[in-house]
């Protein structure tokens, strides 16, 4: 099964920069990752590494993993020279391929378990100010980008977003992250047949 | 409520920006899913709990923390006499 995960960090939010600058932050990164921070001297490096780890964690949850996120167990192998930052995130025997980009104060990462799919992922931001239906608005935007039939966005019991066609026969692989009202949505524009739908719930069951 | 749970709630509330979720509070609520705490706050919560209870939360223990009760359990486990 092809899965994707994403993450968004707003470094303009002082809470985030304070967190990444806290004494003890090294506990959540490997020594090699902390060495990358020494090379760049930039808190954005840590934010990128964190976002890549969390994106990989979201992939792992879709594959059936039910434990909580323990960042130091996710090892990022990357170079700090390339931009966007490309790298592999490993958790035990699992390998995920991740990309992290900076846009001003925003750090955005995506990860997938199939390297060839990484460049195919389409991502966008969407901001919600009121009581609009977020799922409907996101589904409508993806429909427009993907030139597809109407889509329906829901969530599984594990809070995993699921984007299906109206007939619920096929789905697009999607991941969402948010910083307050700002949502970061990533989609793999490839239809997957739904084979493991929970009868009567209208929801698909990830592994 | 155990004293440790009250202390944990005190720590979690520092990083919880949707105050309404606490009206329904139960120790089995998940920290990220139910209490709507941003996952990046894991760093702050772990470091604050370690400071408050003078313990170290290792990587395996961190993986077991989904709910408020899980934090209580980890603290009790760490404080057990060997």
Q: Give how far B52 is from chain A: nearest CA, Å.
A: 14
ipTM of the complex, rounded to two decimals: 0.92
Residue of chain A minimizing CA distance to B67: A68
User: What's the pLDDT score for residue B80?
Assistant: 79
**pTM attached to this predicted model:** 0.93
Q: Give how far A71 is from chain B: nearest CA, Å.
A: 8
Helix (H, G, I), strand (E, B) or coil at A6: strand
User: What's the pLDDT score for residue A198?
Assistant: 53
Q: What is the mean pLDDT of each run of 10 residues along chain A (207 residues)?
A: 96 95 96 92 94 98 95 92 89 97 95 97 93 92 88 90 92 94 94 70 53
Best residue in B31, B33, B41, B43 to probe A by mutation, most A CBs within 10 Å?
Answer: B43
Q: What is chain A's percent helix, strand, coil content, to nearest 5?
A: 30, 35, 35
pLDDT in tens, chain B (82 residues): 777 899 999 999 999 988 899 999 999 999 998 999 999 999 999 999 999 999 999 999 999 999 999 999 999 999 877 6
Contacts of B42 in chain A (CB under 8 A): 28, 69, 71
b/e for A73-101, b at 16 or more Cβ within 10 A?
Answer: bbbbebebeeeebbbbbebeeeebbbbbb
Helix (H, G, I), strand (E, B) or coil at B12: helix
User: What's the pLDDT score for residue B18?
Assistant: 86
Q: Can you read off the two tokens belonging to residue A7?
A: 């993450």
| Contact assessment for residue A104 and residue A47, using Cβ atoms and an 8 Å cutoff | no
Interface of B with A in 24-43 (CB under 8 A): 33, 38-43
């Amino acid at each position: 099964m092809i899965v994707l995960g994403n993450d968004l960090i707003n470094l303009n939010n002082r809470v985030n920069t304070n967190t990444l600058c806290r004494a003890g932050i090294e506990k959540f990164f490997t020594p090699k990752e902390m060495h990358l921070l020494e090379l760049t001297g930039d808190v954005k490096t840590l934010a990128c590494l964190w976002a890549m780890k969390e994106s990989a964690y979201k992939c792992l949850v879709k594959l059936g993993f039910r434990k909580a996120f323990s960042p130091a167990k996710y090892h990022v192998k990357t170079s700090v020279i390339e931009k966007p930052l490309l790298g592999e995130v490993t958790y035990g025997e699992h390998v995920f391929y991740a990309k992290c980009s900076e846009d001003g104060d925003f750090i955005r990462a995506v990860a997938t378990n199939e390297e060839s799919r990484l460049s195919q992922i389409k991502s966008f931001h969407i901001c919600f100010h009121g009581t609009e239906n977020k799922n409907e608005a996101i589904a409508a935007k993806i429909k427009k980008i993907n030139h597809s039939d109407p889509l329906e966005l829901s969530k599984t019991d594990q809070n995993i977003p699921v984007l299906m066609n109206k007939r619920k026969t096929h789905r697009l692989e999607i991941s969402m992250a948010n910083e307050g009202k700002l949502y970061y949505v990533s989609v793999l524009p490839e239809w997957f047949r739904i084979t493991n739908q929970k009868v009567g719930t209208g929801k698909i069951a990830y592994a | 409520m155990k004293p440790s749970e009250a202390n944990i709630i005190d720590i979690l509330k520092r990083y919880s920006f949707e105050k309404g979720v606490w009206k329904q509070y139960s120790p089995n609520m998940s920290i990220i899913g139910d209490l709507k705490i941003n996952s990046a706050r894991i760093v702050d919560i772990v470091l604050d709990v370690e400071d408050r209870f003078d313990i170290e939360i290792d990587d395996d223990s961190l993986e077991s923390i989904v709910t408020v009760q899980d934090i209580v359990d980890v603290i009790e486990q760490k404080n057990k006499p060997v």
